[in-house]
Each structure stands twice: as structure tokens, then as C-alpha cells.
Amino acid sequence: MLARSAHGLYWIGRYLKRVEHTSRLMELQMNALVDCTWDQIHFGWLRLFRHLKTAPHNEELVNWEEHGDSWGLTDSFALADELSFVMENESSILSCFTMGRENARQMRHCISSEMWICLNKAYFEIRDLSIEDIWTKDSMQFYANRVQDVNTFMGVCAATLYRDERWEFLQIGRLIEHAQLMLALMSFQNKSTDSVEFEDLEHYDWWSLLHCFQADEAYQHYFGAKIQPELVMNMLVADQLLPNSIDFSLNQIADRLSALGEAPANRHGAMANRFIGRLIALIRFEWPDAENKTRMLTLAESLALKLHEHITAAWFNYEVDDSVRF
């Protein structure tokens, strides 16, 4: 297929995964606003912004990270707006949805009509909304609905998309985004657990994180009701059977790359395969005994970024001299 079309599908997968991921954490954060302490709420916002590697555009929020006495609900309102509807913020839900849909619009001939209808319908539902529309009434439901939108879209993909390269690239995009976001999230969470700044927050919301990534039932089943941060972390990072774990995503990426076969830029294709192999080995074999988990997660994050770069160079933006001709 056309390299640009494949690139577009890859980014549809990435943008929509980011919508889902951010929506899950926002739902969690909206829940925290109901009955958590200001410290816990502040921690939740820091975690969201830092692991998404973004910052508020609203000038009044310049110093929001300095958590002082004046910090309150107004800040939460503005911060929620930032991650939900501010188009200038590339990580906001609306911005990612818009970009995902824009990619789909250009690739409409590569996706099924039902996928387009599903995505379009979901987009029009949120396009004209603002934070005021959802804040007092049904903010949690709003984020839950976005997760459902993405899940529905992925379900329609699974039901209607032909299982050729289109499927593979869409899935690779989704899985890489998931792996990168989860690595960043776990890295922040791990750092915070050890940090003096958040010492009062030890064990804070490990349970809600499990719930957020649909791992709570499996955790209870295998480890009981008592929350042990190390077990939770291990589960979200290295559980081979948990669909939202990092290990699971990495293995799926390896399978997809192997299904694609040889890349037009062979050197980068081989590098992509090496990086995914290295990442899997890191999580599967080095992670369990690692003393410095944060360092390991940071290393994995940088490897995942390089994996993305090699995939891009191997299949989408390859040099003409490198490529196969037919």
C-alpha cells in the first residue's frame, strides 16, 4: 500500500489510543475531585501533565505546579479544560480526536465506511462541547463515553477492516502509543513513590490505576484484596496476560512487525526488529530483578521512541536509494 496511507493509519491508531488513555485517567481524576484531598488531586494533575509531556497553555496556570494554599478547584477546572478541549494542546482529547479524524479523512479510501461513520459520529458529539458543558453535570460520564467511543471504533475496525497491511499499521500505531504512554506513566508513578514530595501519598491510588487499566479483577483474583505497590507495578508492566500491560503491547508489536515482513528500507526495518526484541528482553528478563526500576523504565521509554523512529524510516519516510523497486 501507499506509504503515506500506511503512515496515516499508523497515526490514527496513535491518536485514538491517546484519546482513550487520557480519557481513562481523566475519569479517574474527576472521581478524585469528589472525595480526595487537595494533595491527592494535585498529584493526579501532575501525573497527567508530566507523563503526557505537556503543559497548560492558559497563562494563569503558569505556576500551577507550585502547590500552595491558594490552589483549588478553579485550577482543576482549567486543567481539565486543557486536557479535554484546548486545541492548542496536542495532547488534549479534542485535539487528538480531531487529528485522528483528519488522518482518517485523508485515508477514507483505506478504511471501511463503517469505521468512518463511527469515528465521525464520535467526533461530532464532542466537537462543539466545552468544559462548561460537562463540568457540573456529567464529567465522569463524558470521559467514560470517550473510552467507549474508541473501543467501539476499534471493534468496528476488527469487524470490518481487511486483514492486510492496513490492519497491521493501525494496530502498530495503537500499540506503540500505548507502550510509550504506559512506560511514561509507570516511570512517573515509580519516581513519585520514592519521592519526598509525595511521601504522604505512598500507596496512593494504586488501586485506581489498576481499575483504570482494567486490571483490578485479575489482580484480586490472583493476589487478593490487599494492594501491594510492587505487585501492581509488575502487573501493569510485565504481566504477559494483561492486555493493557506494557509487555503484552510489546509482544503484539513484535507479532505485527513480523507479519509485515521485510521493509522497503531494510536497514531500518532490521533496526526496528532489534529494538522491539531489546525492549521485550528488557521487560521480560531484566525488569523482575532490576534494583532501579525508574532507570529501567526511562531506558525502555527511550528505546520505544527509537522504535517509532525506525518504523517511520523503514516503511513511511524511507530514502529512495535504500528502497526496493518493483
Partner 1 sequence: MIQRIAALNKFIVDIYGPARILADGVIPIDHVRGCPQYRIEMQGVSIPLDVPVGICGTDLVRVSDGFRVLEDNLRVPSGVSYMIANRQATKTNFRELYRRYRVRDVEKYGTLLYETLREFDPNGSADPCIVLLTPGVFNSAFYEHMFLADEIGAELVEGRDLLVNDGFVYMRTTSGLRKVDVIYRRIDDDFLDPLFYREDSILGVPGLMHAYRKGNVALVNAPGTGIADDKSIYVYVPDMIRYYLSEDPILQNVETYLCREHEDLEYTLDNLEQLVVKPVGGSGGYGLFIGADKTAAERDEFSKQLREDPENYIAQPILAISRAPCWIERNIEPRCVDLRPFILTGKESRLVGGAFCRIALPRGSLVVNSSQGGGAKDLWVVKN
Q: How many other β-carbons are positioned within 10 Å of the β-carbon of residue 73?
A: 11
CA angle, 258 then 261 then 266, to 5°: 115
SS (H, E, C) 34-45: HHCCHHHHHHHH
Residue 2 interacts with partner 1 (CB under 8 A): yes or no? yes
**DSSP H helical segments within 203-319, as ranges?**
206-212, 216-223, 229-238, 246-260, 266-281, 293-311
Residue 145 interacts with partner 1 (CB under 8 A): yes or no? no
When binding is defined by CB under 8 A, the residue of 165, 205, 239, 247 that contacts partner 1 is: 165
Closer to partner 1 by CB, 65 or 255: give it: 255
- Per CB under 8 A, the segment of 83-91, 173-181, 259-267, 270-278 that binds partner 1 is 259-267
The count of chain residues that interact with partner 1, using the rule CB under 8 A, is 23
* 177-206 per-residue burial string, b: 16 or more CB within 10 A, e: under 16: bbbbbbbbbbbbbbbbbeeeebeebeebbb
Residue 315 interacts with partner 1 (CB under 8 A): yes or no? yes
Residue 318 interacts with partner 1 (CB under 8 A): yes or no? yes
Closer to partner 1 by CB, 137 or 325: give it: 325
Residue 326 interacts with partner 1 (CB under 8 A): yes or no? yes
Residue 15 interacts with partner 1 (CB under 8 A): yes or no? no
Residue 320 interacts with partner 1 (CB under 8 A): yes or no? yes
When binding is defined by CB under 8 A, the residue of 147, 190, 264, 275 that contacts partner 1 is: 264
Distances (CA, A) of 315 to 19, 200, 303, 311, 322: 25, 47, 18, 6, 11
Distance CA 165, CA 260 (A): 7
Closer to partner 1 by CB, 21 or 166: give it: 166
Residues 109-128 that bind partner 1 (CB under 8 A): 109
- Per CB under 8 A, the segment of 3-11, 132-140, 174-182, 229-237 that binds partner 1 is 3-11
When binding is defined by CB under 8 A, the residue of 50, 67, 105, 267 that contacts partner 1 is: 105
Residue 325 interacts with partner 1 (CB under 8 A): yes or no? yes
Distance CA 30, CA 48 (A): 12
- Per CB under 8 A, the segment of 144-152, 174-182, 297-305, 310-318 that binds partner 1 is 310-318
Q: Least distance (Å) from partner 1 to the CB of residue 208?
A: 40
Distances (CA, A) of 128 to 55, 119, 173: 23, 15, 27
Provide the sign of the torsion angle of the four alpha carbons 237, 243, 248, 252, taken in this order. negative
Closer to partner 1 by CB, 214 or 258: give it: 258
Interaction site with partner 1 (CB under 8 A): 1-6, 105-106, 108-109, 165, 169, 260, 263-264, 315-316, 318, 320, 323-326
